[in-house]
Amino acid sequence: MPAEAPAAVRHDATARRFTIEVDGAHAVLEYRELDAKTLDYYRTFVPPAQRGGGIASRLTDEALRYARDHGFKVVPSCPFIATYIRGHSEFQPLVR
């Protein structure tokens, strides 16, 4: 039986969050706009049963690509996101 395709990361600009559904549970990365060109990525949450599978990394990668592609700078208030950026040099220029 083929492996199930990973769920897509969805961006809800109105709610200011990126989400992914895994096994019926929702993981989220939330942000706020600090000004017209700066986003504060302040929270990630993955349900306990889904932790350790790279879900927060997928959310963070998608959110950082979004910021880069739309000309935003990022304040990584969430410790997970700050650590992720330190380990991925391609996103370090986004940090304000």
Q: Which domains are delineated in the chain? A: 10-94 (3.40.630.30)
pLDDT number for residue 75: 98
pLDDT number for residue 23: 85
DSSP bridge partners of 12: 17
Question: Is the CB of residue 29 less than 8 Å from the CB of residue 41?
Answer: yes
Pairing status of strand 73-75 against strand 38-45: parallel
* DSSP secondary structure, 24-86, as one string: TEEEEEEEEEEETTEEEEEEEE--GGGTTSSHHHHHHHHHHHHHHHTT-EEE--SHHHHHHHH
pLDDT tens-digit map of 49-77: 999 999 999 999 999 999 999 999 999 99
pLDDT tens-digit map of 1-44: 444 556 899 999 999 999 999 888 999 999 999 999 999 999 99
Rounded Cα–Cα distance for residues 84 and 88 (Å): 6
pLDDT number for residue 90: 97
